[in-house]
Structure 1
Amino acid sequence: MIAYLDGRLTYKDPSFVIIDVGGMGYELRISLNTYTALPDGERCKLFTYLHIKEDAHTLYGFVNPAEKSAFLHLISISGVGPNTGLMILSSLTVAEVQQAIVREDVRTIQQVKGIGAKTAQRIILELRDKFRKGLGADSINVSFDAHNTSRDEALSALVTLGFAKNVAEKTLDAIIKREGTALTVEDLIKFALKSS
């Protein structure tokens, strides 16, 4: 099993990336959340899952262990394959998936393309207890780390776009205080651009 790949990002697309590790290019399917978090053309580390079928070996990449864990939980459900799992994690953040399952919010999960009412109910029924147990101290740390990572990545993007670092930091802190910590990097950047 390949646990992660650490190398140079040579190609980036909303649905897949190619990472050069020691002269060998690995193609990984990714979620939109991972796509947003990855820097162009720089060294990166993606946590991986290898899905083996009779006719294909597909490598999936995740920006952090929390996203990979959520993906593995989702594909353990009958009727939810890797492509559907990736679609869920492209439409919702890991925190949103967790909250929807714990709150038994069928509508939120059903809003994902390709997820019907029965599948959404099955996801909630089978993962509710696992995710509730996960919402102890560990998950608070995970969401705190994810929040810090999102803020740092948004800050880096804003500085690249020409913002002064101290102005960007104040803007991001104000947005997080106003909107909460569950924002994605993309959301933080959008709010920051609107407020400037």
Structure 2
Amino acid sequence: MIAYLKGILTYITDESIVIDVHGVGYEVVCANPFAFQTSINKELLVNTYHYVREDIQVLYGFKNEDEKYLFTKLISVSGIGPKGALAILGSVDIQGFVSAIEREDDKFLTSFPGVGKKTARQIILDLKGKLQLNVSIDTGLFEEQKDSQPNNQVLLEAQEALKTLGYTDKEIKSILPELNKHGNQDIDEMVRKALALLMKN
């Protein structure tokens, strides 16, 4: 099993990155390849999962261990394959996603690509109480804020708008907990609030 790769990031495509490790180029499929844009032509360590089946071998890459761990758990759920798991990771706040599983919020889960009501229930059935991530998860806090949390689609659109403005995934994720506290807002209000928070950081 290939746990990680450390080498020079030489190329980025819409679906993958290529890492040169001592003269060998490894293609690594990622949820957000362009999240690694700032590391082009630099040495990079990428956590990987080596997916092997009779007819295919693929290296999947992740920015941290929590993303990798959630990926491995998602592909263990009936009805979710690697592509489906990557689609979820491409737009997920891991802490919020795990908290949604713990509070059995299938409405939140069905807002992700490829996740219908049946799959959402299967995710909850298979993973509730079984996810041990490094992130701090306060399910009680999320339960209290359940009615006031922003619409997930608005939050996702706000994240995309911030990326367009040049902010990195790390910068955006650092303000997500604070954005979650401000309840339902339209996209313009959400972006304005996010920009104010980013300027403070």
Residues 7-46 of structure 1 mapped to structure 2, 5 A cutoff: 7-32=7-32, 35-36=34-35, 39-41=38-40, 42-46=42-46
CA positional deviation for 1:14: 4.0
2:57 corresponds to 1:57: yes
Hey, what does 2:195 align to over in structure 1?
191
C-alpha contact 2:95 2:135 (8 A) present in aligned 1: no
Hey, what does 1:80 align to over in structure 2?
80
Structure 1 residue ranges (4+ consecutive) displaced by more than 3 angstroms after TM superposition:
175-181, 192-196
CA positional deviation for 1:60: 0.2
Q: CA–CA distance in 2 between the matches of 1:38 and 1:103?
A: 35
Hey, what does 2:115 align to over in structure 1?
115
Query: What 5-or-longer segments of structure 1 have no aligned partner?
Result: 142-153, 159-168, 182-186
Per-residue CA shift, 1:20-62, capped at 9, x if unaligned? Answer: 1111110011012x64255241211111111112222111001
**Does the C-alpha gap of structure 1 residues 195 and 140 become closer, same or farther in structure 2, counting only changes over 3 Å?**
closer
CA positional deviation for 1:194: 8.2
Hey, what does 1:144 align to over in structure 2?
none
More helix by share: 1
Hey, what does 2:98 align to over in structure 1?
98
C-alpha contact 1:75 1:81 (8 A) present in aligned 2: yes
Residues 127-166 of structure 1 mapped to structure 2, 5 A cutoff: 127-131=127-131, 134=132, 138-140=134-136
How many positions carry a matched residue from both structures? 157
Amino acid at match of 1:56: I
**Does the C-alpha gap of structure 1 residues 112 and 23 become closer, same or farther in structure 2, counting only changes over 3 Å?**
same
Q: Equivalent pairs: percent with the same residue?
A: 38
CA positional deviation for 1:113: 1.7
Q: CA–CA distance in 1 between the matches of 2:178 and 2:28?
A: 35
CA positional deviation for 1:191: 2.4
Q: CA RMSD in A?
A: 3.3
Q: CA–CA distance in 2 between the matches of 1:67 and 1:177?
A: 17
Hey, what does 1:69 align to over in structure 2?
69
**Does the C-alpha gap of structure 1 residues 64 and 178 become closer, same or farther in structure 2, counting only changes over 3 Å?**
closer
What secondary structure sits across from 2:114 in the alignment? Answer: coil
Amino acid at match of 2:20: D
C-alpha contact 1:101 1:127 (8 A) present in aligned 2: yes
Q: CA–CA distance in 1 between the matches of 2:113 and 2:54?
A: 26
Query: What 5-or-longer segments of structure 2 have no aligned partner?
Result: 138-162, 182-190
**Does the C-alpha gap of structure 1 residues 56 and 110 become closer, same or farther in structure 2, counting only changes over 3 Å?**
same
**Does the C-alpha gap of structure 1 residues 91 and 139 become closer, same or farther in structure 2, counting only changes over 3 Å?**
closer
Q: CA–CA distance in 2 between the matches of 1:19 and 1:37?
A: 11
Q: CA–CA distance in 1 between the matches of 2:48 and 2:176?
A: 30
What secondary structure sits across from 1:70 in the alignment? Answer: helix
**Does the C-alpha gap of structure 1 residues 195 and 72 become closer, same or farther in structure 2, counting only changes over 3 Å?**
same
Per-residue CA shift, 1:162-186, capped at 9, x if unaligned? Answer: xxxxxxx9xxx9x6795379xxxxx
